[in-house]
Amino acid sequence: MLKFLLLEVFVAFLLPSALIAAPYEDEVRMLPGLPQKPSFRQYSGYLAATKSRRLHYWFVESVNNPKKDPVAVWLNGGPGCSSLFGLLGENGPFRVREDGVTLETNPFSWNNVANVLYIESPAGVGFSYASDKNYVTDDDLTSLENYAAMRDFLRKFPEYQDNELFITGESYGGIYVPMLSVLLMEDPSVNLKGFAVGNGVSNDEMLGSSIIYFAYYHGLIGTTEWNSLLKQCCGGSENRCNFVRTAQYSKACEDEVLKVQAVTDGGSFDRYNLYGPCAYGVGSHQYNHDSMINWAFRSLPGQSKSRDSKWQRPLAEHSCNNNTAVTTYLNLPEVRLALHIPAQVQKWLNCVSDGEYQEGWYTKIYNDTTPFYKKLFSGGIRGILYNGDVDMACNFLGDEWFADSLGRPVTEERRMWHYRDEKGLKQVAGFVKTFDILTYLTVRGSGHMVPTDRPRPALHVITNLVKNTPF
Catalytic residues: 171, 391, 448
Q: Is 140 exposed, middle or buried (0-12, 13-18, 19+ CB in 10 A)?
A: middle
DSSP class per residue in 227-296: HHHHHHHHTT--TT--HHHHHHH-HHHHHHHHHHHHHHSSSSS-TT-TTSPPTT-TTS---SS--HHHHH
CA–CA dist 332, 312 (Å, integer): 29
Q: Is 1 exposed, middle or buried (0-12, 13-18, 19+ CB in 10 A)?
A: exposed
Instruction: With beta carbons less than 8 A apart as the criterion, state whether 59 and 115 touch.
Output: yes
Q: For helices 251-264 and 223-234, give the axis angle rounded to 10 degrees.
A: 140
Closest CA to 96 of 331, 272, 363, 340: 331
Backbone angles phi, psi at 43, to 5 degrees: -135, 150
CA–CA dist 321, 448 (Å, integer): 11
| Cα dihedral across residues 34, 39, 44, 50: positive or negative | negative
State how far Cα 459 lies from the chain centre: 16
3-state secondary structure of 4: helix
3-state secondary structure of 7: helix
- In a 13 Å sphere around the CA of 380, the CA atoms on its Cβ side amount to 4
Q: Which residues contact 143 (CB under 8 A, 6 or more apart)?
A: 176, 179, 180, 183
